[in-house]
Amino acid sequence: MRSTKIYILENSSDFKIKLLQWAQQFDEIVWLDSNTYSQQYSSYDAVLAVDAFTAIQTDHYTGFDKLKEYQEQTADWIFGYLSYDLKNDTEQLTSRNLDSLNFPDLYFFQPKKLFFLKDNRLEIQYLNMVDDEMEEDFLDIRRFPSTIKVPNDDTSCGKVKISLRISKDVYKQKIQQMLAHIARGDIYEANFCQEFFAENSCIAPLETYYHLNQISKPPFAAFFKRSHQYLLSASPERYLRKEGSKIISQPIKGTAKRSQKEEEDKRLIQDLKNDPKERSENVMIVDLVRNDLSRTAIKGAVQVEELCKVYTFPQVHQMISTVVSEIHSKTSPVDVIRTTFPMGSMTGAPKISAMEIIEKLETSKRGLYSGAVGYFTPEGDFDFNVVIRSILYNEDKRYISYTVGGAITAKSDPDKEYEECLIKAKAMREVLEGI
């Protein structure tokens, strides 16, 4: 059982900064921030969950069954992540590529302390065992500064030197191999990714996340900490949301750079809207998502609410579609995730063939990248992002990583695909290398 208190804040933006600093004392943190991005499907501006009372950690083997049991038995708020390699639990697949981060395949925890922000209203929910700490915690949070300094050369970590896991020439060769698979009819589309990394390096996780979030201001930002392992995510993409019997998926496919010149920026939006390659990428994934959602949906209840709409973010323009379905009241929320995971925007079509080819051509294990971070409510609703535009950090191993990729179709040009990867990597590179 939880105790609840409501506070009305004078300045919610300042309080968010204070709250995230206060949270750093805990070994388990999930912070989810919409950056006040206005959207139809949203419950909160920001959510913070800290301090595990119970937790589940597992590899992919029967991972979804274990999560389902944990979610049903806990019947409370649980927060955590699903790694891409849970694909090996849903299909006869493997993940044998290099893994230098060593995150568990699945991790969720039941937080002792929860904070929900909406406009200037703060709701705090504490498990009864710690509810006597509410007032003191609130006062402690307010004592923190309302600014976070961006890392600079004077820090003990200094600048990070990023290395490429594969060269541009090797990348282009692998795209040619992907195109050969498409020409043979093995696949129509696949998402091919490459890793950028730094060894024997360190970062200040909170300051790095704050800098990344300030640059990107995405609607699905996340800061995750589990002991020495961190995710700093500036994700623009929702994977899946459940509101009662309604399921919402919002895949992104189609990216264009921004321009500082207003007229040119408008032209870039129109070019993206009318680009046949980008639209075909998006439509293919919409078809895949419709098929995935139909596995748990009431017959005839899968609908496309929005197709190929272009949204603008500080770094890029993105083409986003919204696909919804209705499920029976007795359908397990975990089963809805199980039958749609991994998300189509990060795999390809047909999904299983695409994942098999991805595994052969990529050189790094994806792990948490192209997985999902989010939460389940006590009622069984959920909301998860797609882990892209993100920095992963293993503090003990002094290893930093970010991965970027793009959809490869028959019309893909290897040089343009590589350029798109660099556009997507820009914010992470700027934060880590100061470029």
Domain assignment present for 332: no
Domain assignment present for 292: no
DSSP assignments along 234-287, one per residue: EE--EEEEEETTEEEEE-EEEEEE--SSHHHHHHHHHHHHH-HHHHHHHHHHHH
Q: What is the DSSP letter of 366?
A: -
Which pLDDT belongs to residue 157? 83
Does position 12 have pLDDT exceeding 90, yes or no?
A: yes
Domain assignment present for 197: yes
Which pLDDT belongs to residue 271? 96
Name the strand (E) or helix (H) holding 81: strand 78-82
Structural domain of residue 105, as residue ranges? Answer: 2-145+158-238+338-433
Domain assignment present for 260: no
Is the pTM higher than 0.95? yes
Please say whether the dihedral angle defined by the alpha carbons of residues 209, 210, 211 and 217, taken in this order, is positive or negative: positive
Which pLDDT belongs to residue 435? 64
Which pLDDT belongs to residue 19? 98
Domain assignment present for 399: yes
Domain assignment present for 303: no
Does position 40 have pLDDT exceeding 70, yes or no?
A: yes
Which pLDDT belongs to residue 149? 83
Which pLDDT belongs to residue 36? 86
Does position 361 have pLDDT exceeding 80, yes or no?
A: yes
Does position 387 have pLDDT exceeding 80, yes or no?
A: yes
**149: three-class secondary structure by DSSP:** coil
The CATH number assigned to the domain holding 187 equals 3.60.120.10
The average pLDDT across 186-197 equals 97
Number of domains composing the chain: 1
Which pLDDT belongs to residue 154? 60
CB 363 within 8 A of CB 271: no
DSSP assignments along 155-217, one per residue: SSS-----EESS-HHHHHHHHHHHHHHHHHTS-SEEEEEEEEEESS----HHHHHHHHHHHH-
Domain assignment present for 401: yes
